[in-house]
């Protein structure tokens, strides 16, 4: 039976440290603020935004929620982003993705001030990640790294396989593993012999968005298996990209869904917001 990586516990520890630091800053009169913008009424996005607000409240940040109707125009959204860019109470700006189809994610992100871009999606921050010179790490890959560290398994020299090549998870994930000297393979829908490639991995990160596609035959005995998926199974129940029940005996360490990567994403957002706040306030 693998060790189950408790993302809730690891994230609680991260948030505890941030809470202590936020309290110290508050004693010096410095408050940290995160603006969260949500457009439309996608139910999953609403849950995620709620999680972010709750985390802010827990660690002692001010959170400013902007819930805009689905019909919001590009001009209106850009005007809000501009206002937040220039608001000294706002250290971090997060525009919840995906946006409704008539709004261009890329255009909106490009207009967020890079030093307030706590998701690290702005091209300036993406570029900084490539060269290993960053203030913000993208929240989900950063959370995955923390979970890997929590196992005590060292990345250096290990075979790492990332399944999925999105700009939000797969690509930056591969880069962070590379920064720690992993030997990294990125797999995707055109990869041949995917099972064979995955089953060589000492560290396997699944971020494809296909429910339970990673079964035990994709997993090397004793591997670290990290599941970034937020999928629904045939009964509409939340599950990951990894078939947890099938893999849990073979893996050395494995994350559950829920309670694995998800809580870490939120904790890393709080970490980035603290970093942004300290930068802005010259701490
Ligand atoms: C948990 C996200 C896909 C697309 C856009 C805790 C979250 C999820 C799960 C959460 C996610 C996923 C977020 C759990 C934020 C992670 O207990 O397992 C927290 O709120 N997430 C997002 O903002 O946008 C997404 C996944």
- Of the candidates 225, 207, 230, the one whose C-alpha atom is nearest the C-alpha of residue 215 is 225
Pocket test for ligand 1, best of 97, 265, 266, 270 (most atoms within 8 A of CB): 265
- Of the candidates 189, 216, 222, 190, the one whose C-alpha atom is nearest the C-alpha of residue 203 is 222
Ligand 1 center to 208 CA (angstroms): 14
State the average pLDDT for the chain: 98
Q: What is each CA distance from 249 to 20, 77, 200, 204, in whole angstroms?
A: 38, 48, 17, 15
Nearest CA to ligand 1 atom 16: 262
User: Tens digit of pLDDT for each residue in 183-226?
Assistant: 999 999 999 999 999 999 999 999 999 999 999 999 999 999 99
Nearest CA to ligand 1 atom 26: 230
Ligand 1 center to 200 CA (angstroms): 28
Which residues are the active-site residues? 52, 96, 119
* pLDDT grade for 113, boundaries at 50, 70 and 90: very high
| Lookup: tokens for 192 | 């041949």
What local confidence, expressed as pLDDT, does residue 168 receive? Answer: 97
Partnered with residue 186 across adjacent β-strands are 162
Q: Is the pLDDT of residue 1 over 90?
A: no
Strands 224-227 and 183-187: unpaired
Question: DSSP for 140-157?
Answer: HHHHHHHHHHHHT---TT
Ligand 1 center to 169 CA (angstroms): 12
Q: Which atom of ligand 1 is nearest to the CA of 51?
A: 20
Task: Report the distance separating Cα 184 and Cα 172, nearest Å.
Answer: 12
Q: What's the length of the chain?
A: 283
Mean of pLDDT values over 87-112: 98
User: Tens digit of pLDDT for each residue in 17-62?
Assistant: 999 999 999 999 999 999 999 999 999 999 999 999 999 999 999 9
What local confidence, expressed as pLDDT, does residue 213 receive? Answer: 98
* Orientation of helix 139-151 relative to helix 261-280, angle to 10°: 110
Nearest CA to ligand 1 atom 15: 48
Ligand 1 center to 126 CA (angstroms): 20
User: Tens digit of pLDDT for each residue in 82-94?
Assistant: 999 999 999 999 9
Task: Report the distance separating Cα 6 and Cα 147, nearest Å.
Answer: 8
Longest Cα–Cα distance in the chain: 57
Q: Which atom of ligand 1 is nearest to the CA of 258?
A: 18
Find where tokens 């001010």 sit: 62
Ligand 1 center to 202 CA (angstroms): 25
Nearest CA to ligand 1 atom 17: 259
What local confidence, expressed as pLDDT, does residue 173 receive? Answer: 98
Ligand 1 site: residues with CB under 6 angstroms?
Answer: 48, 51, 230, 258-259, 262-263, 265-266
Pocket test for ligand 1, best of 230, 244, 260, 273 (most atoms within 8 A of CB): 230
Radius of gyration of the chain (CA): 19
């Amino acid at each position: 039976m693998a060790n189950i990586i408790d993302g809730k516990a690891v994230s609680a520890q991260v948030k505890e440290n941030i809470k202590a630091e936020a309290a110290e800053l508050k004693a010096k009169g410095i408050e940290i603020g995160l603006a969260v913008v949500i457009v439309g009424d996608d139910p999953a996005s609403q849950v995620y935004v709620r999680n972010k607000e709750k985390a802010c409240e827990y660690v002692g940040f001010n959170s400013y929620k902007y819930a805009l109707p689905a019909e919001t125009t590009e001009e209106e959204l850009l005007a809000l982003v501009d206002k937040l860019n220039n608001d000294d109470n706002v250290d971090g700006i997060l525009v919840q993705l995906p946006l409704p189809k008539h709004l261009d994610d890329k255009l909106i992100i490009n207009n967020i001030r890079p030093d307030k871009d706590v998701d690290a999606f702005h091209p300036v921050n993406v570029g900084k990640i490539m060269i290993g010179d960053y203030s913000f790490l993208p929240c989900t890959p950063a959370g995955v790294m923390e979970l890997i560290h929590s196992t005590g398994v060292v990345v250096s020299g290990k075979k790492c396989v990332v399944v999925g090549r999105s700009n939000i998870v797969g690509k930056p994930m591969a880069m962070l593993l590379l920064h720690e000297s992993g030997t990294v393979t990125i797999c995707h829908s055109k990869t041949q012999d995917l099972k064979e490639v995955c089953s060589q991995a000492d560290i396997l990160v699944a971020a494809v968005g296909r429910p339970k596609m990673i079964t035990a035959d994709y997993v090397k005995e004793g591997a670290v298996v990290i599941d970034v998926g937020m999928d629904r199974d045939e009964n509409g129940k939340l599950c990951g990209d990894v078939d947890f029940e099938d893999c849990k005996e073979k893996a050395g360490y494995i994350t559950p869904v829920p309670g694995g990567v998800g809580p870490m994403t939120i904790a890393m957002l709080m970490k980035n917001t603290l970093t942004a706040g300290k930068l802005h306030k010259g701490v």
